[in-house]
Structure 1
């Protein structure tokens, strides 16, 4: 992922906060066999602080690839919007000469994948996931040998993804003048389509932190 200096995360707390703010679904990418495309699996995940925690169905063909090469990438994307060209035309430039772009936030985790097959370890992984996704605890106990989850555990395999590098990008025209960025955020709010609102929030948040861009 190419990251311009003005698109880079301001610190680790920025991308960590963004992930914790409900961005818990992404794409697991694993290397394909020679001559074949990489395999990409969409999935929810949670984290224990140093690892991403994932489980997938045992019949998923991705397991063979991970066993051969545990180097994987997990990508989370959100708060994105298409920015029309006229919105980006500078002073004195005809609106039709403005160049469109995309705004988005993206975090890529470079990881070493470790497969979890032990029944109790898989149960613990699921407990951690449900503590995140169902914090009210409105589910049956997750225990090996106890229904309903005990009979389902053989049908899945777990993954702990040991994070070795994080690449975070917040692409919101932060190199443009503050007036331009504020104007685009207002236009996004007014357009109010798809992810326009969260995109505008990210742009305003970065604007408040960065102010005028200084190389």
Structure 2
């Protein structure tokens, strides 16, 4: 993935946080007949392996899982907050007019060799973990055991597990770092404006988070190069 230096995110904990917050990722595999892709909700096991391990399941009828053996490295793309940025939010619009629209986003790409797992005990653990993760904050959470045993057994026969130890991981937070501070603050204000058609509170929080990290001295910031400044990235 092309990542200008000012947009690079190397902190594993930050990338893991995005993956947990946006678990529906695009799994991309080089199959026998070309690229295969499917949106899959993943569970991240951060403490397994140096960079974490991803687990999920897909329908047995989905041909993608049959491509995993011998497919080599696969790619899993997690998409965080994103949205359109109008140049009308930039303070510099009123002075230089050298502004154009762009799109801000945060994304994580994880790579590793995937294994298809057709084992009932493994699959049951994955279903239990996935359910607890997404039901845990409900006042009366649903549990896998709530389903009749025969019904559950039939459903599980229609699923196949997927496990991917993460070998490589990259993060890109394109949050207007290639603009002057006044322009970046204008983006935050615009994204939070109640009457703006492009209001986007999650993206505003992400842009502001990069500003705060820089102000606290936790994020080295180099003035953008001529290649980066004002150009699509």
Residue 53 of structure 2: which of 51, 54, 62 is its match?
51
Q: Structure 1's 156 and 46: CA in aligned 2 closer, same or farther, altered over 3 A?
A: same
Residue in structure 2 matched with residue 199 of structure 1 by the alignment: 203
- Residue in structure 1 matched with residue 8 of structure 2 by the alignment: 8
- Once the two structures are TM-superposed, the CA of residue 81 in structure 1 deviates from its matched residue by 0.8
How many correspondences in the alignment? 209
Deviation at 1:169, TM superposition (A): 0.6
Residue 30 (structure 2) aligns with: 31
Q: Does residue 1:149 correspond to 2:146, yes or no?
A: no
| Structure 1 residues 195 and 59: CA distance shift in structure 2, 3 A | farther
Displacement of 1:203 in angstroms is: 0.4
- Corresponding residue of 2:79: 77
Could you tell me how far apart the structure 1 residues matched to 2:174 and 2:26 are? 19
- The worse-fitting range, judged by mean Cα deviation, of 199-208 and 42-51 is 42-51
Deviates more, 1:113-122 or 1:184-193: 184-193
Cα pair distance change 1:62/1:108, threshold 3 Å: same
Structure 1 residue 140 displacement after superposition: 3.7
Query: What whole-Å deviation, never above 9, does each CA across 1:70-121 have from its counterpart, x for those lacking one?
Result: 4211111121011123434736322xx4221110010111121011101111
Unpaired stretches in structure 2, ≥5 consecutive residues: 47-51, 224-233
Q: Does 1:209 align with 2:217?
A: no
Distance 1:118 1:10, change over 3 A: closer
Gaps of 5+ in 1: none
**Partner of residue 102, structure 2:** 101
TM-score (norm 1): 0.87
